């Protein structure tokens, strides 16, 4: 099972559309996957689960989407030159003793030209600190409004090609 994380809690975001497109590419390869939209995180987790209090809903999500899998895909938009704080907060809730050896694939999403390259570098450093392996191909989804059609499907062949290359490496692990 592979977890795909749509790493923003903003409503009506393009990141979730890219994450759903990634799911379709994984399914074409016969991979089993599940998707977590970070807008589905418990609203109070930041002030409970991260400070020693029990938050069963948060713990259940971490177990299902992080602890119980060996492969994670994080699709993250660019916020202020990096990745969203909600993703950092979500990561803070993981037990770092349960992440070593897991594999992560990163996809950066931006309305600009960089495809969140700096954010993917920041996220790579954090995941490496947690002793996780990061696939070296990190597809930059630049100018996301040109990558999706009106139905929210990925139509850019270059982006699809990079995602397929990344998926191939991830499935080998």
At the fourth CATH level, the homologous superfamily of domain 2-172 is Flavodoxin domain (3.40.50.360)
Tokens of 98: 């349960």
Angle, to 10 degrees, between the axis of helix 157-172 and the axis of helix 14-28? 60
Residue 53's pLDDT is 74
Q: Choose the weakest-confidence range: 39-48, 82-91, 129-138, 159-168.
A: 39-48
CB atoms within 10 A of CB 10: 14
Q: Is the pLDDT score of 100 beyond 80?
A: yes
pTM: 0.95
Place of tokens 């030209």: 113
Q: What is the mean pLDDT of residues 116-130?
A: 96
Please say whether the dihedral angle defined by the alpha carbons of residues 115, 127, 15 and 42, taken in this order, is positive or negative: negative
Q: In this structure, are residues 75 and 107 in contact, taking their beta carbons and an 8 Å threshold?
A: yes
49 pLDDT higher than 70: no
Calculate what percentage of the chain has a pLDDT beyond 70: 98
Cα–Cα distance for residue pair 170/147, rounded to 1 Å: 23
Q: Which residue has the tokens 């390869």?
A: 29
């Amino acid at each position: 099972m592979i977890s795909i994380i749509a790493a923003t809690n903003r409503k009506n975001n393009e990141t979730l559309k890219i994450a759903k497109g990634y799911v379709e590419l994984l399914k074409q390869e016969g991979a089993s996957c599940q998707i977590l939209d970070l807008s589905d995180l418990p609203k109070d987790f930041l002030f409970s689960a991260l400070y020693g209090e029990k938050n069963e809903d948060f713990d259940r999500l971490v177990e299902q989407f992080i602890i119980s899998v060996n492969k994670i895909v994080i699709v993250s938009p660019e916020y202020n030159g990096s990745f969203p704080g909600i993703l950092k907060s979500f990561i803070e809730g993981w037990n770092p003793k349960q992440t070593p050896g897991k594999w992560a694939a990163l996809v950066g999403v931006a309305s600009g030209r960089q495809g969140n390259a700096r954010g993917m570098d920041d996220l790579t450093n954090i995941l490496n600190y947690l002793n996780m392996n990061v696939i070296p191909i990190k597809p930059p989804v630049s100018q996301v409004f040109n990558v999706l059609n009106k139905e929210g499907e990925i139509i850019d062949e270059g982006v699809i090609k990079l995602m397929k290359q990344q998926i191939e490496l991830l499935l080998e692990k």
